Amino acid sequence: MPVDAPAPPRSAAALLRRGLRRHHRKLLGCYALICSWLLCEALVPVVIGVIIDRAVATGDLGELAIWGGVLVGVFVVLSYSYRFGSRLGVGALELETHLLRVEVSEHVLGPDGARTGLLPGETLSLATSDAETIGQFLWHVGYSLAGLLGVAVSAIVLLRIDVTIGVVVLLGVPLVLLLIQVVTPLIARHTSDQQAGIAKATGIATDLVKGLRPLKGVGAEDVATSRYRTHSTSARDASIRTAQSVGYLFGLTAALSGLFLALVACLAGTRALDGTISIGELIAIVGLTQFLAEPITGLGETSARVASSFASARRVVDFLRTPPLATFGETVLDEPWPELEIKQMTAGPLRDLDLAPRRGELIGIVVDDTAGSDTLVRLLRGELPPGDRQGSLTLGGYEVDDLTIDSLRSRVVVSQHHVDLFEGTLRSVIDPDGALDGDAIDEILAASAASDVVDLHPDGLQQPITAGGATFSGGQRQRIALARALATRAPILVLAEPTSAVDAMTEQRIADGIRALRHAGDSDLVTIVVTSSPAILAGADRIHLVQDGRVVVSGTHHDLAQHDAYRQAVLR
């Protein structure tokens, strides 16, 4: 993460408090208006009771006009308070949801990346359902405050009408709410399991759809479908458990509040029969009793919603606190053509690896196992943290960890074996900045053999590309990714198996194209290709054969053809 970026919250509670702080102006207005709305809701039966006693029972038209006006005023305030309070509250929660989505996206898509084991679908779930649940917390806080205020005002009014009834309300409401909280931890636990299960199933489904073609190619679609079915069933069961616990909460809330309010109404009825309270006061008590059903039920539901918000907040916090993929410092590299040097590097399967390409060289690296080549590529991308490696990795004489992320990314571009294509047109994918003219684009398309992809579509370079390039074959996606890498004109370009999905003729075209585009004449460009392709290696200036994590032999393709291990790795 950039050095000036604020640290992510350390806990779910801190994340929720941050949401309250950064929207405090809107929320203060929202909470004040929502409290005003619920207060007016409580005053409606009270005003009606006053009208009964002072106007209807006495036949006083003046009192009827006065208190009728008061009732109209209460309804006007009630209506507009809720309207504008909701507008402020919904605006705040939608903005908070948006900010959380942006934060999750920036964490995983930022230049330093995020070292997380989540599948893309799981990350998507964090940015959608979890972010929405957290945003709703802002509204629940306001409704809780309004509900408590409504209960307090109702209790005060009831105390003034009848002390016994008021005391029953003051003692009964907290007791009902306390009993309701018994179910809340169960909901929080089930909600957390549900969100995790849904995220896992979504991630697997996304990967299944993206990889359907290769799965069919190896006949593994049944295995993949079975795996998805297992996780989908688990997510379904978690959702059912959550729905059951929420149902228990609502049922318990309805039962307890109903019994409590029936007790209050019965007590008020006996008071009216013995003449202790008037008819108007009885109507006010009955109306307040009906009103209390809403805040009591709402407070019970709010506890469940808040529990869900905490569960989602914990998941988001855990994600935001994952370490970056790339480590970097504050040193800005001024050298436009820096030299890359690896000395005595030990990381994963690599052991005492030395690598120092010279300007203008096309270097081929043959690694005897996939784990070793993957580690080397991650090392060159700056994605291996210092604690996972020993040795020196410098660019322009500076340790890579000390350089700014822009200094590293602008000098060293790594095109990995796994291809990620973004939505847009073919031209925007290859040249996102629109910096290349037509001749330059044509050279790059020819060098990468991507001109075939252009020629196959009537729209040429303007043909649309869906996210992930799902409409292209593996070989086409690989050539488009290679064209995108070549278009950067990076001083140091690292290519990982750039021709593994193409035929032999296309492979030779690409090998000749890379050589012609980047290493014709007195070019200072450096190209490092991690590959076992004979066509590419035949045109390399130097080749390093890595076995058991060490460089065992170096030379040209012609020289190494006499080496048994090289022949076994390349010429088999």
pLDDT digits (tens, 9 = 90+) for 91-112: 999 999 999 999 999 888 887 7
Residue-range definition of the domain harbouring residue 458: 340-570
Kindly report, residue by residue over 516-533, the tens digit of the pLDDT: 999 988 889 999 999 999
Sequence-distant (≥ 6) Cβ neighbours of residue 321 within 8 angstroms:
8, 10
Q: Is 395 helix (H, G, I), strand (E, B) or coil?
A: strand
The answer to whether residues 528 and 353 touch, using CB atoms and an 8 Å cutoff, is no
pLDDT tier, 560 (very low <50, low <70, confident <90, very high otherwise): very high
The C-alpha atoms of residue 253 and residue 57 are separated, in whole angstroms, by 37
In a domain, 405, yes or no: yes
Is 325 inside a domain boundary? no
Could you tell me the CA-to-CA distances from 238 to 120, 138, 507, 571 in Å, in that order? 21, 26, 50, 53
pLDDT for res 196: 58
* Pair of tokens at residue 557: 């393709």
* Domain CATH number, residue 291: 1.20.1560.10
Residue with tokens 């006996």: 270
Q: Are residues 309 and 441 in the same domain?
A: no
Provide the token pair at 540: 């390399």
Q: Please check whether residue 34 is in contact with residue 341, taking contact to mean a CB–CB distance below 8 angstroms.
A: no
Query: What is the percent of the chain with per-residue pLDDT over 90, rounded to a whole number?
Result: 44
CA distance 479 to 489: 16
- For residue 203, the model assigns a pLDDT of 54
Asked whether the predicted pLDDT for residue 253 surpasses 80, the reply is no
333-350 residue pLDDT tens: 999 899 999 999 999 999
Q: String of b and e for 452-472 (b: at least 16 CB within 10 Å)?
A: ebbeeeeeebeeebeebbeeb
Which pLDDT tens digit goes with each residue over 385-402?
Answer: 888 899 999 999 999 989
Kindly state whether residues 416 and 492 are assigned to the same domain. Answer: yes
- Distance, in Å, from the CA atom of 190 to the CA atom of 339, rounded to the nearest integer, reads 55
On whether both 350 and 311 belong to a single domain, the answer is no
pLDDT in tens, 67-76: 999 999 999 9
**Burial of 129 from C-beta contacts in 10 A (0-12 / 13-18 / 19+):** middle
As a whole number of Å, the CA-based R_g of the chain is 34
CA angle 164, 166, 170 (to 5 degrees): 120
Predicted confidence at residue 156, as pLDDT, reads 86
- Average pLDDT (236-251) is 66
Whole-angstrom distance, CA of residue 507 vs CA of residue 449: 9
Same domain, 27 and 126: yes
In this structure, are 208 and 104 located in the same domain? yes
247 and 314 share one domain: yes
Residue 3 lies in a domain: no
Amino acid identity of 471? T
Query: Is residue 330 domain-resident?
Result: no
Contacts of 148 (CB under 8 A, 6+ apart): 295, 299
Dig out the tokens for 185 from the structure: 């931890």
pLDDT(26) > 70: yes
Let me know: does 239 contact 155? Beta carbons within 8 Å: no
Closest CA to 360 of 541, 524, 536, 556: 524
Tokens of 413: 């571009």
- Report the predicted TM-score, pTM, of the whole model to 2 decimal places: 0.68
Q: Do residues 386 and 523 share a domain?
A: yes
**Could you tell me the CATH number of the domain that includes residue 354?**
3.40.50.300
236 and 366 housed in the same domain? no
- Whether 334 is covered by a domain: the verdict is no
Sole residue written with tokens 């309250």:
20
User: Using an 8 Å Cβ cutoff, are 516 and 525 in contact?
Assistant: no
| Nearest Cα to Cα of residue 97 among 173, 5, 23 | 23
d(C-alpha 264, C-alpha 221), whole Å? 63
CA 17 to each of CA 138, 313, 509: distance values in angstroms, whole numbers, following the listed order: 9, 11, 59
Residue 232 lies in a domain: yes
Q: How far apart are CA 432 and CA 447, in angstroms?
A: 18
**Domain identity same for 259 and 315:** yes
List, for residues 172-231, the tens digit of each pLDDT value: 777 776 776 665 555 555 555 555 555 555 555 555 555 555 545 445 566 666 666 776
Distance CA 277, CA 286 (A): 12
What total number of domains does the chain contain?
Answer: 2
Q: Which residues fall within 8 angstroms of residue 69, CB to CB, at 6 or more apart?
A: none
Task: Give residue 393's pLDDT.
Answer: 93
Whether 416 and 463 share a structural domain: yes
Q: Within a domain: residue 327?
A: no
What is the per-residue pLDDT for 201? 57
Domain boundary among 287, 320, 353: 320
Q: In what order do the strands lie in the sheet with 492-496?
A: 412-415, 492-496, 526-530, 362-367, 542-547, 550-555
Shared-domain flag, residues 310 and 452: no
Three-state SS at 509: helix
Residue 5 domain-assigned (yes or no): no
Residue that terminates a domain, selected from 286, 320, 354: 320
Query: Is 130 found in the same domain as 58?
Result: yes
